[in-house]
Amino acid sequence: MKADVYVFLFLGLTFQIICANEVSEEYDPGNPHRNPTKCEVCKIVADELEYLMTETGKTHEVITQGGFDRPQKRVKYTQSEIRLIEVLESVCERVLEYNIHAERKDSRRFAKGTSETMETLKNLVNKGVNVELGIPLSMWDEPSAAVTKANQYCHFLIENYEEVIENWFFKTDHSRELSEYLCVDRVLSKEEAVCLDEVWTGKERVHGTEEEGDEESSNLKGDPGSKDTKDEL
């Protein structure tokens, strides 16, 4: 038991060091494009794993499992190693579907779908306004640097906590959320786990976003025939 505790402590510390080393000395908690924290990554990974488990758990398929050093046997797909492997192999790719929503506070900045800012900019482009972001229009929907980092951290997390996830899958009551079993109990300290309680209700906006939204949109609209309209995401 002590050996397991030491392993978890070592992995958690290693993950924390990796995340910390990626953060600039000029780290700005108010910058929505800052690198993801350990808590944010674990939250995203746990959410995506649970989503994939829900989706892959809808089938009643029975498959043959085994071979080589183990006898083959028929098992339900939902209880198979194949299901777990397929989920683990696809989870980090799903992280790349996230975007930075600069108008949202804290960990809520990571979400799927188009951010309000990007939606505004795309609408301006469609109206003929020349919007310059420093990158080609074709790359606007590419994963941001922060999302790419989250994807990299995801691979580290899956690789180093695969056995923990396996134990959760095969040996525990699945009514217990993975975010608690993995993130709270094994990856994060109590102080680091604060982001797990953050949810997006529509009200958690960066200060001034709602009040200044109309003014900001007005400034962005400009005149289609004027100089470039710029906005820093």
pLDDT of residue 149: 97
Please, are residues 14 and 2 in contact by the beta-carbon 8 Å criterion? no
pLDDT of residue 224: 35
pLDDT of residue 142: 83
pLDDT of residue 65: 79
Question: What's this model's pTM, rounded to 2 decimal places?
Answer: 0.74
- Give every residue of the chain whose pLDDT is below 70, as ranges: 1-27, 67-68, 137-140, 207-233
Q: Could you report the per-residue pLDDT of 75-116, keeping only the tens digit for each?
A: 999 999 999 999 999 999 999 999 999 999 999 999 999 888
Q: How far apart are CA 177 and CA 190, in angstroms?
A: 17
Comparing CA positions, the residue from 136, 134, 103 lying closest to residue 120 is 103
Q: How far apart are CA 108 and CA 201, in angstroms?
A: 10
Per-residue CA distances from 140 to 6, 45, 117, 119, 191 (Å): 43, 24, 12, 11, 35
pLDDT of residue 69: 72
